[in-house]
Chains A and B, each alone.
Chain A
Amino acid sequence: NAGVTQTPKFRVLKTGQSMTLLCAQDMNHEYMYWYRQDPGMGLRLIHYSVGEGTTAKGEVPDGYNVSRLKKQNFLLGLESAAPSQTSVYFCASSYLLTGSQHFGDGTRLSIL
């Protein structure tokens, strides 16, 4: 009963490097989301997807790209990492857009 799985769990990057975070869900949810959480800032939505092949910008999309080629997977890419992108990244999925969301256990990303 995996739910939402994020990989990797931890990563350290140098400024300017690129990487992709993977989110996979096995609940057949249409909706998937990427958030970042910083101290004192709460959860902020980066991008989301309302179905396979579709993505949309959230509150803080700059510096990130996403893809949803398969319904169960939602990828978050950092093209050129910056120290300001040091954060904890959470992926979530939901059955309804306004329904409760199920979260992965997060990716802790540090950019030096």
Chain B
Amino acid sequence: RKEVEQDPGPFNVPEGATVAFNCTYSNSASQSFFWYRQDCRKEPKLLMSVYSSGNEDGRFTAQLNRASQYISLLIRDSKLSDSATYLCVVNYNNAGNMLTFGGGTRLMVKP
């Protein structure tokens, strides 16, 4: 089992739609969770951290479910500019608690 698993997609949605991605992680002791965004041929950039109580940043909402070991990202009112790959990131207790990146979920927002 991969340490951090994501559906690679692509998720094709129309502008204005709401879309949600899930990510599962294998280490129940993980403490740090993030969503990163990566545009084509660009570097990953931090989108938001994920907190235990869930958190929101504008149109983006992140949730953490420790019991089921998954995190989610909800994007409301999708924009064309949201088209990107979204990487789920979790700290993993190997080699010193390093961050481990999921393979990413590709989102394509269509006009």
Contacts and interface: CB of A to CB of B under 8 A. Distances in A.
Contact of A100 (B43, B46, B98, B103): B46
B13 to A, nearest CB: 22
B54 interface: no
Contact of A103 (B8, B31, B45): B45
Nearest to A99: B32
A98 B44 CA distance: 16
A19 interface: no
Contacts of A42: 87, 101-104
A100 B91 CA distance: 10
Contact of A98 (B32, B46, B103): B32
A100 B96 CA distance: 15
A45 B49 contact: no
Interface residues of B, number: 21
The winner among B34, B43, B49, B91 for most chain A CB atoms within 10 A is B43
B46 A105 contact: no
Contacts of B102: 42
A60 B16 CA distance: 41
Interface string A19-31: 0000000000000
Contact of A43 (B44, B46, B95): B44
Interface string A75-112: 00000000000000010000001111111111000000
Interface string B74-111: 00000000000001000100011111011110000000
B42 interface: yes
Interface of B: 8, 31-32, 34, 42-46, 49, 87, 91, 95-99, 101-104
7 contacts: A40-B8, A48-B98, A90-B43, A98-B91, A102-B46, A103-B44, A106-B42
